[in-house]
Chain A
Amino acid sequence: MGDQVIAGPPVAVAGLRKSFGEQTVLGGIDFQLESGKVTCVLGRSGTGKSVLLRLLIGLETPDAGSIRLEGCDISTASAKELNEARKKVGFLFQQSALYDSMTIEENVAFPLRRHTKLSAAERLDRVHQLLGSVGMDRDLDKMPSEISGGMQKRIGLARALALEPTVVMFDEPTAGLDPITAAEIAKLIVELRDQRHITSIVVTHDLHTVRTIADRLIVLDGGKTLFDGSYQDFSRSEIPFIAQFVKDAA
């Protein structure tokens, strides 16, 4: 059933369909994420990339198809089983989605307070360790509204990593950031893969970031998978949409 851990890909999607009213956003998507690799999802705006991530974490319900998240079929799982699977997954939202009534420190401590039995001192140590790992070790008592977008992304990432997930999902992690901060975020994603063997799925438009981090690329168009392969194959692809994408991003 849902909470059984089955050896296999950390995320497996089969025949995934999702529509909003008359608009079909995903019209049958199939893929499996490779453990310890970074998979980037590209596509035009409105092609359902963010919806795909929301479906993977169970924030949206698919119309058809199955999603297995760390062995749990989330389309049939109970709320408890779904939450157990979610604890193994970190999610970095496009706008970071930090809790604006909590300080930076409280934001990162929130999942630890909810899901671990750490003492207050141990929790604080862990929070400092997490924030240190994303290059944020000061101003911890500030509110999210008092820090920059790049810093918010880092805090969001630290919070996503709090429960030591095996999979991290990134929704436009470099959107709205300057090139230097974007490169720093990309470096952190690579470090997660190389040092912690975390499986990542990154939704982005930023081809420069994709070149730096992607082990594999999935391109969505018209609700279908248009391309699935390496960055090298992607950059050499003769599919008109992809050729145009590469040309315009150059």
Chain B
Amino acid sequence: MPATVIPRPFLRDLRAFGKPLETMVEWVGDLGFFCWRAAKTLFSIPFEGAEFLRQLDAVGAKSLPLACLAGAATGVVLSLQTRDSLMRFGAKSLLPAVIVYSLIKETGPIIASLIVCGRVGAGIGAELGSMRVTEQIDAMEASAVDPYKYLVATRILACIVAMPLLTVATDFVGILMGWVASTLVDPAPLGLFLSHGFKGAEFSDILPATLKTSVFGLIIGAVACFQGMRTRGGTEGVGRSATSSVVLASLLIMLADVMLVRLIIEVF
């Protein structure tokens, strides 16, 4: 009796599972090479200072109102929901600390990152995708300009730099609006709210949680540029690139968040 006979249905399932797995591994490998190529150009002369500042404005300044709005909504909702829960346990005095810690350690960074991912990721994916299908990237290359340096590296770096700054803004507005929502029900001065909220807080609570968004920025920039640069198939392809940029970057952000939170807990 043959010892290594694999049942046919199982083999079929294995093959069906193998193809997407192969595609995924290939995608990750290509993304790695893509990032390496972009990273190498970052340190070569001339530096693309003007283009970097333009991208920083597009990614950072133009996302600021949206990030603040998301932070404000989160702060208000946190305040309203948590107050009710804390009152049941007679721990209403912990409300400022819950809002502050929740926003600073997790909600602020992840909300800001997902907001920027939606706005900037789709924008970069569509912009580069459109440039690819209309041969603008080829034109750039043909005129001896490295598109990885001019288009890709500047956008990724802008996302890396802008994300922590946007997160600080989201945290700030979130805490402020958390206080507003709280003080409308139970008036308290802002100073008192903040002193209770930040009581016992250390840099190790704030800094790693804020700086981890640079990794999210890297993910947003790299995935969106990668999807945009490999666009094929006209306007439909541009649409696909924009969508896949947001979907893939969002998933990777959540995955990275799990790992980074674990790492931060271990290290700090």
Contacts and interface: CB of A to CB of B under 8 A. Distances in A.
Interface of A: 54, 57-59, 79, 83-84, 86-87, 89, 91, 93-95, 97-101, 110-111, 114-115, 159, 163
B145 A114 contact: yes
Nearest to B135: A97
B205 interface: no
Contact of A91 (B134, B139, B145): B139
Contacts of A111: 143-145
A100 B138 contact: no
A245 B136 CA distance: 32
A95 B137 CA distance: 13
Contact of B138 (A83, A89, A97): A97
A115 B138 contact: no
A99 B139 contact: yes
A101 B51 CA distance: 13
Interface of B: 127, 130-131, 134-136, 138-146
A92 to B, nearest CB: 9
Q: Is the interface of B mostly helix, strand, loop or mixed?
A: helix
A107 to B, nearest CB: 9
Which of A86, A97, A111, A115 counts the most B-chain CB atoms under 10 A from its CB? A97
B11 to A, nearest CB: 28
B229 to A, nearest CB: 14
Contacts of B139: 91, 93, 97-99
Given A91-B139, A93-B139, A100 B144 contact: no
Given A87-B144, A93-B138, 19 more contacts: A58-B141, A79-B146, A83-B144, A86-B141, A86-B142, A86-B144, A89-B142, A93-B135, A95-B134, A97-B139, A98-B139, A99-B139, A100-B131, A101-B127, A110-B145, A111-B145, A114-B144, A115-B143, A159-B143
Contacts of A54: 138
Which of A58, A91, A159, A163 counts the most B-chain CB atoms under 10 A from its CB? A91
A84 B142 CA distance: 11
B147 to A, nearest CB: 11
Contacts of A83: 144, 146
Given A97-B134, A97-B136, A97-B138, A91 B143 contact: yes
Contact of A99 (B136, B141, B142): B136
